Amino acid sequence: MGRHIAEIEALTATDAGLIGCTRCGRVWPHAHVECERCGARLHRVDRHGLQAVWAWWLAGLIFYIPANVFPMLVTDTFGSLQKNTIVGGALELWKHHNYGVAAIVFVASIMIPIGKFIAVAYLAIIVGNEKRKGGHPHLLLLEVVEFIGRWSMIDVFVVAILSALVQLGYVASIHPGPAAASFALSVAFTMLSAQSFDPRLIWRGTKE
């Protein structure tokens, strides 16, 4: 944020008795349910929408469990199968003294997804609280979650590329494990969860 703007007490669309389209920004009278310009559904700024956030959040969390329990990659080297879970892969790297890579894997595949869950849950809990301070850090947090949420799909693509590429017959071949699907679903649900989060709530206490 280039210039910091202190809490500006300004008129929001809701305050003005209007409803703003979150897709195109057009404002409509309070009673409108659909944006006439872009056709998107108009959402009121209220905690009601957080139910969807929680629902996707929970689905994402549920799928995150098998994503960690089942192997992500099955490596077949000279006939010996090696199944790597996400955590197992990181630990393996750690054991082989590849601390740097292990750390990267640990951060990217474990900390960030877990951080996302925590961040979304935190925001979903905090937005209703009148005593919260500062919209900017929270919006930043949400934007980071939204941004990283997509990039978590990297793991899935890496599995896909490795599986497609490392097909050297008996010498080495890599196959995707069931965790790849769980992980992809988990990422997708987390993305949906973050998308469902109405950032306008950050700026506005809910008063029901």
Partner 1 sequence: MTETPDPGPAELKTSAAKRPIWSRLSIIWIVPLLALVVTLGVAWKSFADRGELIHIDFKDATGVEVGTPLKFRDVQVGKVESVGFTSDLTQVRLGVRVDNDVAPYVDNDAKFWLVRPEVSARGIENLGTVLSGTYLEGFWTNKPSGARTQFTGLERPPLSPDPSKGTIIELRAQDAGGIVDGAPILYHGITVGHLQNLRLNKDGSGVIVDAFIEAPHNKLLTTQTRFWNTSGFSVKFDTSGLSLDVRSLATLVQGGVEFDTFTSGGDVVKNQDTFRLYDSQDVAKNSVFESDQVDPPRYTLLFDDPVQGLEVGSKVQVRGVEAGEVTALAIKVSTDSTGQSYAQQQVTIALSPDRLGLARDSDEKQTTQFIESQVVNGLRARIASVGLLGGTKIIELTDVPDQPNEKMNLDAKPFPTIPTAPPTANDLSQSAKGVFNRIEGLPIEKLMNSAIRTLDSISAVAENENTRKVPEELSGLLNQLRSFATDLNDKGAADKTVAALDGVTDAASSVLEEIDGLHETLASADKAAQAIADMPLGDIGDKIDTILADINGLLNKPGTQDLPQSLNQTLEQTAAILEQLRKAGAADKLNQTLAATQDAAASVSKAADRLPELTQRLDTLVAQAQGLVSTYGQGSNFSNETLTTLRELRRSITDIGAVARMIERNPRAFILGR
Partner 2 sequence: MARVPNPDLGDLRGLIACPRCDLLHHTQQLSDGERAKCARCGSLLIWPRTGAFLHVVAFSFTGMILMIGAIFFPFLKISAQGLSHESSIFGVAMAFSDGWIAPLALAVLAMIVALPVFRFAALIYTLWPLANGRPAYRHSTTVFRLVEELQPWAMAEIFIIGTAVALVKVAGLASVSLGPAFWAFCVLIIVIALKNSFMSNWTIWDAISQK
Residues that bind partner 2 (CB under 8 A): 1-3, 5, 8, 10-29, 37-40, 45, 135-136, 139, 146, 149-151, 153-169, 171-172, 175-176, 178, 180-181, 184, 188, 191, 195, 199-200, 202-204
Cα 3 to chain centroid distance, Å, stands at: 27
Nearer to partner 2, 45 or 86 (CB): 45
Nearer to partner 1, 82 or 173 (CB): 173
Smallest separation, CB 109 to partner 1 (Å): 31
Which residues make up the interface to partner 1 (CB under 8 A)?
168-171
Smallest separation, CB 196 to partner 1 (Å): 37
Cα 81 to chain centroid distance, Å, stands at: 32
Smallest separation, CB 38 to partner 2 (Å): 5
How far is 108 from 71, CA to CA, in rounded Å? 17
Instruction: Pick what 163 binds: partner 2, partner 1, none; C-beta below 5 to 8 Å, kind-dependent.
Output: partner 2
How far is 167 from 184, CA to CA, in rounded Å? 22
How far is 122 from 127, CA to CA, in rounded Å? 8
Instruction: Pick what 187 binds: partner 1, partner 2, none; C-beta below 5 to 8 Å, kind-dependent.
Output: none
Please, are residues 67 and 176 in contact by the beta-carbon 8 Å criterion?
A: no
- Strands in 172-176's sheet, in edge-to-edge order, are 80-84, 73-77, 172-176, 167-168
Smallest separation, CB 152 to partner 2 (Å): 9
Nearer to partner 1, 104 or 161 (CB): 161
Nearer to partner 1, 8 or 78 (CB): 78
How far is 193 from 88, CA to CA, in rounded Å? 27
Which structure tokens are listed for 188? 């997708």
Cα 80 to chain centroid distance, Å, stands at: 36
Q: Which of 163, 182, 185 is nearest to 172 (CA)?
A: 163
Nearer to partner 1, 104 or 168 (CB): 168
Task: Output b/e per residue, 81-110; b: 16+ Cβ within 10 A.
Answer: eebbbbeebbeebeeeeeeeebeebbebbe
Instruction: Pick what 128 binds: partner 1, partner 2, none; C-beta below 5 to 8 Å, kind-dependent.
Output: none
Nearer to partner 1, 125 or 171 (CB): 171
Smallest separation, CB 26 to partner 2 (Å): 7
